[in-house]
Structure 1
Amino acid sequence: MNPRSPRRRRAGAILVGLLAIASVAACGGADPQPADSAASAAPAEGVTVTMWTRAATQAQSERLVAAYNKGHKNQVKMTVIPTDNYQPRIAAAAGAKQLPDIFASDVIFVPNYTSQGLFLDITDRINALPFKDKLAPSHMKLGTLDGRQYTLPHTLDLSVWFWNKDLYSKAGLDPEKGPTTLKEFAEQATTVDEKLGQDGKVSGTFFGGNCGGCYVFTFWPSVWASGGQVMNPEGTTSLNDQPAMTNVFNIYKDLYAKGITGATAKEEQGPTWTGFFPKGGIGVMPMPSTTLGLMPKDMKVGVAPIAGPDGGESTFVGGDSVGISSTTENADAAWEFLSWSVSDEAQVEVMAKNKDVLARTDLSDNKYSAEDPRVVLINSLVAKGQTPYALRFGQTYNDPQGPWLRLAREAVFGDPGKVAQLNTDITKSLQQ
């Protein structure tokens, strides 16, 4: 998931009908592909496989491909497609039987592709991996359909809390102790704002108040941390009117009412919501883990798991999964790259070396991440986080015209009495 630009997901609403038609043309029907019969074959040498990825995860994908190509006779030719255009391009390529050998997908939309038969069944290949049980569980869950597995984790982005240690010190807070509950988060944000916010240059916290993807990425982990859920397991019934979600909304509603959230939080639509914290004027706020390496070198930043009102910890496990297209003629060579991409070598010497979140839970404390306890913490959350499943996720939760954004805005800025009806609208959208 790329919550920093949730409006890009609007293409998901357009894709539903197109993808159904395209996948039938490409695969001879909408049934998932049968098990890969060549699961144990050795790849031929000197094969070039094609791969598509979206621009949102370009940097990590390029590093993996470059390292693989340097050490293997087989090669990967990668094409980066603008995120705005990615889903329509996949649909069009499926309809024309011109899918690449390998393609990545925002993990949220993997169930759509697996249900339409666009990925090859690689269950037997995955089962042969000695570390199969250590692969990022949320990504593996969304890549599984009817007990068969179709994708591997590719790139990961987690939601965490960042706090500005310098602002904490100036506000009289302990700069080494970030929040451990959502209530403490609110208290610390309030202290920073009250002590330092008189000139309008400092705010206690910030969030994307007009951005469905931002709410999902940053509010839902507090629900999970408290033991609650936002949907049923099938992704067809909304639970966003239940106490676990209501309690989270109420804390943010109170922060906004007191002016702790910054002047533009209500209007923030997503593209710039992560740009305020690096400027040094926000005390504490939820952020994508991938932005840690983009912070100014002289900024002292603490990192904490997102907690529920009274404790616990969780995260939204976003990013991309990757699979082999069901129409490939190079399944063995494609698998050679995919399996290498989750190997010790790739995960440690490529991903960890660049402070990226790892796709394997058993490698979270490695020689590179051990240099920064914050990175170790982020990697450790992969096993504790969740990635929600819903075939109509984009239309329901990310579309600016969808019912989720209306519910969230009423709960935080408007009339909470409307939440029950809006929750019914979410369920109707999920079941269409």
Structure 2
Amino acid sequence: MSRKLIAVATAGVLAAVLAACGGGSPGPAPQGGQDAGPVTITMWTRAATQAQSQRLVDAYNKSHKNQVKLTVIPTDNYQPRIAAAAGAKQLPDVFAADVIFVPNYTSQGLFLDITDRVAKLPFKDSLAPSHMKLGTYDGRMYTLPHTLDLSVWFWNKDLYAKAGLDPEKGPTTLKEFAEQATTVQEKLGKDGKIHGTFFGGNCGGCYVFTFWPSVWAAGGQVMNEDGTQSLVNQSPMTDVFQTYRTLYDNGVTGPTTKEEQGPTWTGFFPKGTIGVMPMPSTTLGLMPKDMKIGVAPIAGPDGGESTFVGGDSVGISATSQHPDAAWDFLSWTVSDEAQVEVMAKNKDVPARTDLANNKYSAADPRVVLINSLVAKGQTPYALKFGQTFNDPQGPWLRFAREAVFGDPSKLASLNGAIDSSLQQ
């Protein structure tokens, strides 16, 4: 997840390649017809979701005559590879993509229209709503949810107990989050080894993943609906920034917070040195076995619940010669069998809201809570998302750093720069 968060979008490269090959709007479906016999389809995924993709492919191949050949591409090289393959009309039959960048691909016609196929799924209304929203273009559907990663608050129960806090009661508002982090710092942080909280202060994607859910939980938005105008210079976003600015000014955050660029931002909590902080949900299963961890939804200043629904979506390429075989695989990946016996069994978040509480998640209330947030979370939509919010040289990171560490008087002009980037 962290690699996703800090990845620099190459949407400009994609657009240039597609323009050269005439991409613009989704084209007609290939006329491949029904495959006569067992076929092998090709699939690409980025390294960030290799484990989940490989498990799904292996399970499918063991139980089906059709087969899937998976190719894993380094995450940082994934978008350029997709762009080059699109330009050469050599896309695989199926490819997954970071859900944030799916609108770029749907708008350029890289995916096959699967609207009619999705409509026949008995559980169509339970598919992760934020992923389905970003995979819809001009009222037509092009992708299914593939993997999900959510942002939540983790708190260290042992540190809470030592600090005199109730270890079974995590924060229910951003104000409580700040109060509890401050208590941990004041009670346990004198030797400089324990810190109240931590965040990626020099990482645009980290701010998006961990701060924006507090805005949504408060009923606000960070952009207009079509992703062309920034709303980050107004409440509740400014209230969220002020909370974290106060935590930093008061020495409640880790000492490297201001410099943290992303690669190591999730590495401090597992060491047992942080009281409470926002984390990717997928890291819960990677925590030390003897570590007592509480999990809470990210809240707004005065309450509410939300999450950033990240991960990947997957679709059939518009040039696939085996669309029926490709759909057989894709539809199976969101079936009860795949979602429970492959995804949930391995502690991954199901792509369907009706399977949030299943026989595997039921053993851990924290997992049930995480799964339930899929229906409450959001995934922001903007065609220029990468260059605006993920790029370390983009305007969002400059805005966020001034809001938390610098001069708030610069925010009006910096918000204008975000607008300009979104509208390019």
* TM-score normalised over the length of structure 1: 0.96
1:150 to 142, 151, 167: 142
Corresponding position: 1:29 with 2:28: no
Structure 2 counterpart of 1:33, which letter?
G
Write the deviation string for residues 189-231 of structure 1: whole angstroms up to 9, x where unpaired.
Answer: 0001110011111000000000000000000000000000000
Corresponding residue SS for 1:52:
strand
Q: Tell me which residue corresponds to 1:19.
A: 14
Deviation at 1:45, TM superposition (A): 3.5
In 2, Cα distance between the equivalents of 1:378 and 1:105? 22
Deviation at 1:31, TM superposition (A): 1.1
Q: Tell me which residue corresponds to 1:6.
A: 5
In 2, Cα distance between the equivalents of 1:164 and 1:37? 56
Corresponding position: 1:387 with 2:386: no
Structure 1 counterpart of 2:28, which letter?
P
In 2, Cα distance between the equivalents of 1:24 and 1:245? 36
In 1, Cα distance between the equivalents of 2:193 and 2:2? 25
Corresponding residue SS for 2:154:
strand
Structure 2 counterpart of 1:198, which letter?
K
Write the deviation string for residues 96-135 of structure 1: whole angstroms up to 9, x where unpaired.
Answer: 1110000000000000000110000000000110111100
2:330 to 338, 353, 372: 338
1:289 to 239, 256, 281: 281
Corresponding position: 1:271 with 2:266: no
In 2, Cα distance between the equivalents of 1:36 and 1:344? 29
In 2, Cα distance between the equivalents of 1:5 and 1:320? 10
Corresponding position: 1:127 with 2:119: yes
Write the deviation string for residues 41-78 of structure 1: whole angstroms up to 9, x where unpaired.
Answer: 76543200000000000001111111000000000000
- Note if contact 1:106-1:319 (Cα within 8 Å) is conserved in structure 2: yes
Q: Which runs of 5+ in 2 are unaligned?
A: none
Structure 1 counterpart of 2:208, which letter?
V
Question: Could you say what the CA RMSD is over the residues aligned between the two structures, in angstroms?
Answer: 1.3
- Note if contact 1:6-1:271 (Cα within 8 Å) is conserved in structure 2: no
Corresponding residue SS for 2:151:
strand
Corresponding position: 1:54 with 2:54: no
Deviation at 1:157, TM superposition (A): 0.2
Q: Tell me which residue corresponds to 1:360.
A: 352
Structure 1 counterpart of 2:395, which letter?
P
In 2, Cα distance between the equivalents of 1:167 and 1:261? 15
2:253 to 250, 254, 261: 261
- Note if contact 2:153-2:276 (Cα within 8 Å) is conserved in structure 1: yes
In 1, Cα distance between the equivalents of 2:337 and 2:35? 19
- Note if contact 1:35-1:123 (Cα within 8 Å) is conserved in structure 2: no
Corresponding position: 1:374 with 2:366: yes
- Note if contact 1:36-1:122 (Cα within 8 Å) is conserved in structure 2: no
Corresponding residue SS for 1:303:
strand
In 2, Cα distance between the equivalents of 1:184 and 1:379? 23
Q: Tell me which residue corresponds to 1:252.
A: 244
Corresponding position: 1:182 with 2:174: yes
In 1, Cα distance between the equivalents of 2:5 and 2:255? 21
- Note if contact 2:98-2:311 (Cα within 8 Å) is conserved in structure 1: yes
Structure 1 counterpart of 2:5, which letter?
P
In 2, Cα distance between the equivalents of 1:398 and 1:334? 31
- Note if contact 2:181-2:196 (Cα within 8 Å) is conserved in structure 1: yes
In 2, Cα distance between the equivalents of 1:166 and 1:69? 44
Instruction: Tell me which stretches of 4 or more aligned residues in structure 1 moved more than 2 Å.
Output: 2-7, 20-26, 33-38, 41-45
Deviation at 1:382, TM superposition (A): 0.2
In 1, Cα distance between the equivalents of 2:147 and 2:30? 24
Distance 1:36 1:140, change over 3 A: farther
Corresponding residue SS for 1:133:
helix
Deviation at 1:20, TM superposition (A): 2.5
Q: Tell me which residue corresponds to 1:396.
A: 388
Q: Tell me which residue corresponds to 1:423.
A: 415
Corresponding residue SS for 1:266:
helix
Structure 1 counterpart of 2:26, which letter?
P
Deviation at 1:337, TM superposition (A): 0.4
Structure 2 counterpart of 1:229, which letter?
Q
- Note if contact 2:45-2:97 (Cα within 8 Å) is conserved in structure 1: yes
Deviation at 1:33, TM superposition (A): 2.6
Deviation at 1:24, TM superposition (A): 4.5
Q: Which runs of 5+ in 1 are unaligned?
A: none
Structure 2 counterpart of 1:66, which letter?
D
In 2, Cα distance between the equivalents of 1:290 and 1:127? 30
Structure 2 counterpart of 1:360, which letter?
R
Write the deviation string for residues 302-344 of structure 1: whole angstroms up to 9, x where unpaired.
Answer: 0000000000000000000000000000000000000000000
In 2, Cα distance between the equivalents of 1:296 and 1:369? 19
Deviation at 1:262, TM superposition (A): 0.9
